[in-house]
């Protein structure tokens, strides 16, 4: 393949030298990197806020491309970049609330997920109202959020199960509220039912197709594999919901799915985008190794099999060699999203090599727009554009606390 046909730039960064210390005793990145990352983040944040304001689409309140994504970034900044500045911290929470209140009329009552639908906005409102002392409003939004569970669990055959548009994306909304306000905030019975609905749906399709996998999922008639639309994302969400009895009772089936996925890994370390498509091409969080790494590490934590960790480590190699994407710097199909693969491996292994790699990808992002990448359709959005890059850069400041937004709990 010629370099012009490739979807990635050659990675010319040196790999980890095995010596340099990258973390200070409190877990933060050492100087001068810490200050440099903060400075670059502030620069990009300013650009992003201005760009978002100018290109704002009041009809899009999604976390993926719209106002919800900016609100999620602001919530994140209050916990990272402005963590030690109480005034700024409160201000960014208020900014997030303002954006969401403004965009509430854009709720469509159509999509059921955190990333693309009403539950994202509602669950952030639950958290923000509560943090800002408006408990009655928080409860109202929580009731609205929970009332959607009837539809999610009702067996609607047109509702998918994947993360971007389906049941697993609704599940994340509930986990998000729990993460911020405590597990007791959401009745485990509801969470259990949502997981059961996902499991039932997977089992139904598997039986219908006489598939060797006990759980099988499709989206738009394709058996997608990756984190956004496929089984990787669905199974990952279930494994993040271990307290649910339905998940506990189906761990065997879930593990069989993980086993199957391991067998689908390409020699390069990447994964196919769907079972119908055997080409080793997309190295994105949404499709491919950068998303699968999260599942493999989680599966290792839950089932304890070394094989899952080595599958994850192989993902890390292909992301390092082929992960500087020409698509851009975003989190869904860009360099920042790919860098979360290294943060995930660093959190699991403690190996500074992965922190080094994440920092090199961060360095690439400092030169935002200078590599000749394509411009995303929504250039300032969280999943396609600059807001996602800013989110990642602030996460790397304290790598052990980093989490892929709207996906990792």
Residue 287 near ligand GSH by CB under 6 A:
yes
Residue 280 near ligand GSH by CB under 6 A:
no
Residue 118 near ligand GSH by CB under 6 A:
no
Q: Are 347 and 373 in contact, with CB atoms under 8 Å apart?
A: no
Residue 322 near ligand GSH by CB under 6 A:
no
Segment lying near ligand GSH (by CB under 6 A), choices 36-44, 153-161, 193-201, 280-288 = 280-288
Q: Which of 161, 162, 255, 384 binds ligand GSH (CB under 6 A)?
A: 384
Give min distance, CB of 243 to ligand GSH, in A. Answer: 30
Residue 319 near ligand GSH by CB under 6 A:
no
Give min distance, CB of 282 to ligand GSH, in A. Answer: 5
How far is it, in rounded angstroms, from Cα 203 to Cα 190?
20
Positive/negative CA dihedral, 318, 345, 214, 202: negative
Task: Identify residues 330-369 at the interface with ligand GSH (CB under 6 A).
Answer: 332-333
Q: What is the chain's Cα-based Rg? A: 20
- Which one, 174 or 228, has the nearer CB to ligand GSH? 228
Q: Are 351 and 22 in contact, with CB atoms under 8 Å apart?
A: no
**Degrees (nearest 5) of the Cα angle 126, 78, 175?**
40
- Give the residue from 94, 44, 62, 167 showing the smallest Cα distance to 405: 62
Residue 382 near ligand GSH by CB under 6 A:
no
- Contacts with ligand GSH by CB under 6 A: the residue count is 11
Residue 282 near ligand GSH by CB under 6 A:
yes
Give min distance, CB of 175 to ligand GSH, in A. Answer: 22
Give min distance, CB of 235 to ligand GSH, in A. Answer: 19
Positive/negative CA dihedral, 171, 173, 178, 179: positive
How far is it, in rounded angstroms, from Cα 333 to Cα 381?
13
- Give the residue from 130, 134, 121, 197 showing the smallest Cα distance to 160: 197
* Burial of residue 182 (number of CB atoms within 10 Å: 0-12, 13-18, 19+): exposed
Residue 130 host element (H or E): helix 118-131
Give min distance, CB of 378 to ligand GSH, in A. Answer: 7
Site string for ligand GSH, 220-249 (x = CB under 6 A): --------x---------------------
Segment lying near ligand GSH (by CB under 6 A), choices 79-87, 242-250, 278-286, 350-358 = 278-286
Task: Identify residues 144-163 at the interface with ligand GSH (CB under 6 A).
Answer: none
Residue 286 near ligand GSH by CB under 6 A:
yes
The pair of structure tokens assigned to 103 is 């965009």
The answer to whether 332 is a known ligand-binding residue is: yes
Segment lying near ligand GSH (by CB under 6 A), choices 73-81, 146-154, 281-289, 311-319 = 281-289
- Give the residue from 120, 221, 216 showing the smallest Cα distance to 171: 120
Site string for ligand GSH, 179-208 (x = CB under 6 A): ------------------------------
Segment lying near ligand GSH (by CB under 6 A), choices 71-79, 100-108, 124-132, 279-287 = 279-287
- Which one, 258 or 325, has the nearer CB to ligand GSH? 325
Give DSSP secondary structure letters for 300-347.
HHHH--HHHHHHHHHHHHHHHHH-SBTT-S-SSSSHHHHHHHHHHHHH
Residue 284 near ligand GSH by CB under 6 A:
yes
* Burial of residue 325 (number of CB atoms within 10 Å: 0-12, 13-18, 19+): buried
Backbone angles phi, psi at 331, to 5 degrees: -100, -25
Segment lying near ligand GSH (by CB under 6 A), choices 21-29, 93-101, 171-179, 283-291 = 283-291
How far is it, in rounded angstroms, from Cα 344 to Cα 207?
34
Q: Are 49 and 387 in contact, with CB atoms under 8 Å apart?
A: no
Query: Is the backbone of residue 390 left (phi > 0), alpha (psi -120 to 50) or beta?
Result: alpha
Q: Are 120 and 73 in contact, with CB atoms under 8 Å apart?
A: no
- Which one, 127 or 163, has the nearer CB to ligand GSH? 163
The pair of structure tokens assigned to 94 is 């208020």
Segment lying near ligand GSH (by CB under 6 A), choices 126-134, 252-260, 284-292, 301-309 = 284-292
Applying CB under 6 A, which residues contact ligand GSH? 228, 282, 284, 286-287, 327, 332-333, 376-377, 384
Query: Which amino acids are annotated as binding site for Zn(2+), given as ranges?
Result: 286, 332-333
Q: Which residues are annotated as a binding site?
A: 286, 332-333
């Amino acid at each position: 393949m010629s370099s012009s046909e490739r979807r990635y730039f050659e990675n010319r960064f040196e790999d980890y030298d095995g010596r340099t210390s990258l973390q200070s005793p409190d877990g933060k990145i050492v100087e001068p990197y810490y200050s440099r990352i903060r400075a670059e983040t502030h620069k990009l944040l300013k650009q992003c806020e201005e760009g978002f304001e100018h290109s704002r689409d009041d009809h899009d309140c999604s976390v993926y491309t719209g106002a919800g994504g900016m609100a999620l970034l602001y919530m994140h900044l209050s916990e990272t970049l402005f963590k030690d500045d109480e005034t700024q911290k409160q201000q960014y929470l208020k900014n997030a609330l303002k954006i969401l209140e403004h965009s509430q009329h854009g709720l469509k009552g159509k999509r059921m997920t955190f990333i693309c639908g009403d539950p994202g906005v509602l669950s952030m409102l639950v958290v923000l109202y509560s943090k800002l002392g408006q408990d009655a409003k928080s409860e109202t939004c929580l009731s609205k959020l929970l009332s959607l569970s009837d539809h999610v669990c009702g067996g609607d055959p047109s509702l998918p199960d994947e993360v971007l548009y389906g049941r697993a994306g609704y599940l994340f909304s509930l986990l998000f509220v729990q993460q911020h306000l405590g597990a007791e905030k959401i009745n485990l019975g509801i969470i259990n039912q949502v997981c059961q609905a996902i499991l039932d749906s997977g089992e139904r399709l598997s039986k219908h197709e006489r598939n060797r996998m006990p759980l099988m999922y499709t989206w738009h008639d394709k058996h997608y594999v990756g984190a956004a639309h496929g089984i990787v994302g669905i199974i990952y969400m279930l494994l993040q919901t271990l307290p649910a009895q339905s998940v506990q009772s189906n761990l065997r089936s879930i593990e069989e799915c993980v086993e199957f996925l391991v067998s689908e890994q390409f020699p390069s370390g990447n994964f196919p985008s769907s079972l119908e498509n055997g080409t080793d091409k997309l190295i994105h969080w949404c499709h491919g190794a950068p998303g699968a790494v999260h599942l493999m590490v989680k599966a290792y934590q839950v089932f304890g099999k070394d094989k899952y960790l080595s599958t994850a480590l192989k993902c890390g190699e292909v992301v390092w060699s082929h992960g500087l994407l020409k698509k851009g710097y975003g989190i869904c199909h860009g360099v920042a999203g790919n860098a979360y693969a290294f943060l995930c491996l660093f959190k699991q292994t403690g190996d500074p090599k992965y922190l080094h790699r994440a920092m090199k990808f961060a360095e690439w992002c400092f030169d935002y727009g200078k590599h000749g990448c394509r411009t995303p359709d929504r250039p300032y959005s969280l999943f396609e554009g600059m807001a996602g890059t800013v989110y990642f850069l602030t996460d790397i400041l304290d790598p052990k606390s980093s989490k892929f937004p709207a996906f990792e709990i």
